[in-house]
Structures are given as C-alpha cells and as structure tokens.
C-alpha cells in the first residue's frame, strides 16, 4: 500500500516538475524571440523580410537558441502565447517556415500588414503607463521613444477580451480622443493581435488628443479634457 502511495505521489511530482520546466523553457524562448524579432535581428545579422519575418531555421541557429530549442518549441510558443505576440507563416516563394513579432518593433519594418484605422470604430483607445512618467507625458505627450509605434489597448485591464496592449502593473490610464486625432491626420493601425498603434506626429502624440487620464488604484482624474 505504502509503495503504491509513494509511486502515485512520485508520478504527480514528476508531472509538476515537467510542467514547471516547460513553462520556464517557453518563457525563455519567448523572451529570446521577442528581442530578436522586435529589436535585434539586424544587428545580429539575421535576414528579415520587409514585413518582419525571419526563417525559423535561422532563428534556431542563433547563439541564444541553438542547441536549447527545436522547431516544435517555437511552434508551441507561438500558438500558446497568451498575448499572441508572434505569427508563423509559410513563405509563399520558398515554402520555408517563418516567424514574426506582431508589434513592438524598434527595427524598421513595413506597416503593410497592419490594419489602417480610418474611423473611430473603437469606443476606448487607452495607453497604460506609470506615475513617474506622467509629468513628462502631461507636458510633451506620449512618445514612441525607440520603438516604431506608441501602443494602445481597446479596453482596460478589467476587460477580459483584451489580451494585449496593457501591462498588468500599470498605474495610469491615458484615454485618447481617436476622432480628434484622426481628424488631424494622425495615422492609427491595428496589429494582428489587436493592439492599436500610432507613431503620432514626429514620434509624439500630443496632450491635446488626451480625453482623460485616470489613476487606476483610486480612480482619480489627473486630466480631463473640457
């Protein structure tokens, strides 16, 4: 009897360990893919298409990935990523499997696969940030910084349908008047994973396009357009 109980618990512990190991392994691969596909491909000498795709076999030979992960690992991480950060495709010309990041790039890639937003089809367009950033944002606006775009979500953290666009630890919501920005010629796009993107004007979305700014933990208004 004791032997059977021991075997059962041993089996449970092994399964738990394997699950934790796979989760940690997937996290490390996701981090490596994010950096390479969003920021490092060019400096690391990887051939990247105008739309941001890189051959999976080339990725697997990078020093941060080689010998640690297989093609099946990349496919699993892409398909199970809860924020849908990556997309796989078969190259239409050479039929090779390729992967790209859906958004968040600092390297120069085309916006051709992004969906242009020409009308205020979303009631909520919101950027999440932190209290320490607010004085500069209030004075100068939202900056894309080193990235190609400023990121927004189509809802707040309370909206269960929102899978990407907001970090869990943000302290402030900056709500955007999409109609006003579009009327002034600011270009907006939607990524494949539902994130709203804009470069603003010269990399900045001015404060005049803010609808309201709210401190999340208290609901206090930091800014309200009148």
The domains of the chain, with CATH numbers, are: 2-101 (1.10.10.970), 115-224 (3.20.170.30)
Report pLDDT for 139: 96
23: tokens are 């989760």
Sheet order of strands, 126-129 included: 126-129, 172-176, 210-215, 221-224
pTM over 0.75: yes
State residue 23's pLDDT score.
Answer: 65
| Cβ neighbours around 158 below 10 Å, total | 7
Phi, psi of 205 (to 5 degrees): -105, 110
Say which DSSP state 151 is in: E
Residue 55, strand partner residues? 98
- 30's tokens: 């996701």
Q: What is the mean pLDDT of each run of 10 residues along the chain (226 residues)?
A: 50 45 80 95 95 96 95 95 92 95 93 94 96 97 95 92 86 97 97 95 97 95 84
Strand pairing report for 172-176 and 221-224:
unpaired
Q: Cβ distance 130 to 65 under 8 Å? A: no
CA atoms within 13 A on the CB side of 137: 24
Write out the E strands in 80-209: 86-90, 97-101, 115-117, 126-129, 142-143, 150-152, 172-176, 188-190, 196-198, 204-205
Residue 163: what pLDDT? 76
Which pLDDT belongs to residue 180?
Answer: 97
pLDDT, residue 130, reads 97
Q: What is the pLDDT of residue 82?
A: 85
């Amino acid at each position: 009897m004791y032997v059977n109980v021991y075997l059962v618990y041993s089996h449970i512990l092994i399964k738990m360990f394997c699950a934790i190991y796979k989760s940690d392994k997937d996290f490390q691969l996701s981090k490596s893919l994010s950096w390479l596909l969003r920021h490092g491909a060019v400096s690391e000498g990887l051939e990247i298409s105008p739309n941001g795709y890189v051959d999976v076999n080339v990725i697997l030979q990078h020093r941060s990935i080689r010998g640690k992960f297989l093609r099946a690992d990349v496919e699993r991480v892409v398909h199970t990523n809860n924020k849908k950060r990556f997309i796989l495709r078969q190259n239409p010309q050479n039929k090779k499997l390729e992967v790209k990041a859906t958004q968040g790039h600092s390297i120069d890639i085309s916006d051709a696969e992004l969906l242009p937003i020409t009308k205020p089809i979303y009631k909520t367009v919101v950027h999440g940030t932190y209290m320490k950033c607010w004085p500069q944002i209030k004075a100068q606006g939202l900056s894309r910084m080193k990235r190609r775009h400023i990121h927004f979500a189509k809802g707040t953290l309370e909206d269960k349908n929102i899978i990407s666009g907001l970090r869990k630890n943000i302290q402030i919501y900056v709500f955007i008047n999409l109609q006003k920005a579009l009327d002034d010629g600011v270009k907006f796009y939607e990524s494949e994973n539902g994130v709203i993107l804009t470069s603003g004007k010269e990399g900045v979305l001015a404060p005049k396009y803010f609808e309201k700014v709210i401190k999340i933990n208290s609901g206090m208004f930091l800014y309200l357009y009148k």
